[in-house]
Structure formats: structure tokens, C-alpha cells
Structure 1
Amino acid sequence: MIEIKKGRYRARLASTPEDVRAAQALRGLAFRRARPGVDRDSFDALCDHMLIEDTRSGALVCCFRFLPIANGREISRSYSAQFYELSSLEGFEGRMVEMGRFCLHPDCTEPDILRVAWGAMTAYVDDTCVEMLFGCTSFAGTDAREYYDAFAVLRDRHLGPRRWLPRVKAPRVFRFAERLRRKPDLRAAMSRMPPLLRTYLMMGGWVSDHAVVDDQMNTLHVFTGVEIAAIPPARKKLLRAVVG
């Protein structure tokens, strides 16, 4: 049973239908501000849901979900497989987990929330012997021009290994590895890089060579993979320090 505390925040796995509904409500607040309501889909019933709560108020301040996958031969049943052609990963032999729907309450920005969230992710990966963490990592909005510097950095430094690289499947994509020719402004790039993606990259994560234009969620997203064995030892130590 995963339960992690730091300061006033606690992480735990959802254990009741009410817990899952609370996560769906927070997702709706975070992802669908223009269209209030819950955010739910058919994957919710297949996933483990992680909740980060304020122990003083009991409020849910962050949530995300995990879809366990035995190995690459099952990757076609992932959420990401709706948008990316992932047959290159079918040869991955180790256990995998897809992390998705990561969100924070819009009014909650305390650093301890993210520390507890990443500690909970680490504990889940360790407890389930996962060898690859993956998912779709989103940029707000669908105008790629706002993120040219960030995409140029991804092109230059963080493209996935050729043997695992996803191919295009979605009808609308931005092929940044092919189309961008600019030298990135590093400061501008990091200021526009989503915080979740920055953390993945610090863990040695890699991305697809294209971004999917997701009009339904009003985002651009890249497939992101983190091979657990490749996480730098110093980063592993920091992550596990939260777990205690």
C-alpha cells in the first residue's frame, strides 16, 4: 500500500469509486476550464489512480493515473497508442506503466505537492518492478509556433532511440524534428517546456520526433519514454529520498 507524506501533503492510491470521481472532477477543472465538468474516459476503469491530498483540509490537490502493461506486446492497449504508432516498442520485454492525466489544482503551487507526486511515482515504479515509464506529455494550446524553441531543444537533445521511436498515426501532427531548422534560445525553450516534461528529461527521458495536435484536449503532446535503468543515480537518489 503506497502512502507518502511530506509537509501537509499525502499521496495514496484511490481505493473507492468516490476517490476516482474526485480525480475525474479535478481533471475536469484542470483540463477543461472552458467546458466545466468531469474528465473521464474508458481507461479510468483499467488504471490505478494516485491522489495527492492536503492533510489539513482534505482537498485533492493533484492526481494522475497508471496503466500497468506486462511488456511491449501489450502496448497497443495504452492510451498513447490512440495517437502514436508504437509497434517499435512491442519488442520491449520488461514491465511498463503508462502515466497519464497528471494535473494540479489551479490554485495549488506549493513545491511539496510535486515532490510528493514524484515520490509516489517512484514508489509505484519500484513496487511493481517497472522498467519503462511512458505517456503523452502536453503543451497547452495547439499553436506550435509558441514552442519552437522548446521543440528545437527536444530535436537536438532528447529524441528517442531509433529502435523505440514511435511513428506517425494521428491525422494532425507537427513534425518538429524535420521541419525546424532554427537554433534554439535555451532560456526561452526552458521557460516554455512543460514542468512535467522537464522532470522526465532530467530523469533521462526521451520524446517522439513529432507532436500530436489534440483539438479535443486543446494541447500539443509528445510521446515520452523513461527507461528506469537509464535514470541517473543522483536523480534516483533524490526521488527515493521522498519515499523515505
Structure 2
Amino acid sequence: MQNIITTNDAKSRPVQLVLSQASTPEELREVQRLRYKVFIETMGLTSLANADGLDSDEFDAHCDHLIVRDADTLKVVGTYRVLSASKAAKLGRLYSENEFDLSRLNHLRGRMVEAGRACIHPKYRGGSVIMLLWSGLAEYMRRERCDYLVGCASISLADGGHNAVAVYQALAEKHLAPAEYRVTPHLPFPIHKVEAAHKPQVPPLIKGYLRSGAWICGEPAWDPDFESADMFMMMPLANLDERYARHYGVTPV
């Protein structure tokens, strides 16, 4: 897998971005260093700080890792972690099951790819990196013959959770999954006990999912480690189609 896109997203210069899949231990460490910078250092999560400067867990070894590099600097500027249906079966669970009861989706397990740890360097957040990653996700799902993309999407609780409640209430009106696809959080975020913000600020990643036809599959879980409210989302591959590649000029090589 390797796709290329030229963009003006990076500050002060045009840049060529290259999508590939991590294939060496060093590439995995590059991914983990970027995640640490974005998830722990930038968010100020001192409780998760460590000496090696890596964001890692037991799932990394079982997952595939999409990476986007700046072709000039060769630095990893974006990543997505993906767990195929076959690897999830061997592992015995999805990462999302740390937070949600997914028993209603048991009949779909052989057709689901789980994506998570979406991470983009702050200087490259104009849109092209995530679209390139999504084109890689679509290609990965076709290769794995899976029909559904699932995973958790986070909303910061830095404001006390008021925005998280507002976002959930707004999205539940139009984007709630049918009852047969609903999941239940193990540790629910208390949406009925926190006042909603006046105007919801939907995180860009969630906006992208929704534009692609994704559902939110129930009330959010509370992740105290990352200080976030997490929503379980599901998106059919049919909605993650090639319009992104055509619109953003992604060219397979």
C-alpha cells in the first residue's frame, strides 16, 4: 500500500504526503512517538507520561498501522491503527470492548475492521492527511473483505463535559444507529447530570465520520485515563468510497 498526495496543508510550504503501512519495529516506534506527542504531551495528560516518550499498549503488536509521511522531511505526520477481523478473532476482542458491550454486533465480527488512535501532527491538520488515511482505510477494508468500519471517537472533557453532552445530544437527533446496532458503555459518561454547552463543537474527526454516513451507536463512555467521552461509531464501507480519493487527488503508485 502506497498512495501519494500533494497539498498545501503544512504551514509555510507545499508538501508531498506519502501513505504506507508500517512494516518495521522502528516505524511502529515512530507512530508511538507521534501519538505520545499529540495525545499525552499536547493534551497535558501527565498521569500517562513515561520516560520513553511512546504511547503504546498491548494492541499495537496485533494491529496494522497506516502512516503518512512528509516526503521532504520523512517524518511521520499522521497515523491510524487498524485491527482486522481475523486478528481480532485471534486476540479474542476489540479495543473498543474495553469501554463498550458489543454483544449486539457479534453477528458482524467477521465483517468489521476496527480503527483507532487516529493522530495527526498539529502542523498538518488542513484535511489532506486524514483523507489520505481514509483512502488507506478503504483499501485495507476491501483487501480484508470487510464491510464495516468501527471504533471509538473521543470528545475532550477539559470543559467539564459540557461540550460532550451538547455534541451527543445534537448527533443523537440525526445520526443514531438503528436499535439493532446499539452498544452499551461499561462506564457511561453522565450525560443526564451535566449541563450541555450552548453550541456543540463537534471534533473534526467525528465530523468526517458523519459526512461519510457513520452512525453513533449509543451513549458515550467515560475514559478517565484520556479525560474524554468516547462514542462508538460504525460506518459501512459503501459510504467510505472513492470520492475522497478523487476529490483530494490521491494517486495509487
Q: TM-score, normalised by structure 1?
A: 0.85
1:105-116 alignment runs, 5 A limit: 105-116=121-132
Query: Which moved further from structure 2: 18-27 or 64-73?
Result: 64-73
Q: Does residue 26 of structure 2 align to residue 18 of structure 1?
A: yes
| One-letter amino acid of the structure 1 residue matched with residue 146 of structure 2 | V
RMSD (Å), alpha carbons: 2.5
| One-letter amino acid of the structure 1 residue matched with residue 181 of structure 2 | W
Structure 1, residues 199-233: CA drift from partner, whole Å, max 9, x if none? 1111111113211111111211101111224x2xx
Alpha-carbon distance in structure 1 between the residues aligned to 2:242 and 2:30: 32
Alpha-carbon distance in structure 2 between the residues aligned to 1:228 and 1:131: 5
- Preserved contact between residue 74 and residue 90 of structure 1 (Cα < 8 Å): no
Structure 1, residues 28-49: CA drift from partner, whole Å, max 9, x if none? 0010012352100000000000
Unaligned runs of 5+ in 2: 7-15
Deviation at 1:156, TM superposition (A): 0.6
- Kindly report structure 1 stretches of 4+ aligned residues shifted beyond 3 Å: 70-76, 178-182
Structure 1, residues 59-96: CA drift from partner, whole Å, max 9, x if none? 11011110011499789610000110110000126521
| One-letter amino acid of the structure 1 residue matched with residue 189 of structure 2 | F
| One-letter amino acid of the structure 1 residue matched with residue 71 of structure 2 | T
Deviation at 1:15, TM superposition (A): 0.6
Identity of aligned residues (%): 26
1:168–1:227 CA distance, 2 compared to 1 (3 A): same
Unaligned runs of 5+ in 1: none
Matched residue SS, 2:84: strand
Q: Residue in 2 aligned with 1:84?
A: 100
| One-letter amino acid of the structure 2 residue matched with residue 4 of structure 1 | N
1:16–1:38 CA distance, 2 compared to 1 (3 A): same
Q: Residue in 1 aligned with 2:164?
A: 147
Alpha-carbon distance in structure 1 between the residues aligned to 2:225 and 2:157: 11
Alpha-carbon distance in structure 2 between the residues aligned to 1:76 and 1:179: 35
| One-letter amino acid of the structure 2 residue matched with residue 221 of structure 1 | D
- Preserved contact between residue 122 and residue 240 of structure 1 (Cα < 8 Å): no
Query: Which moved further from structure 2: 118-127 or 194-203?
Result: 118-127
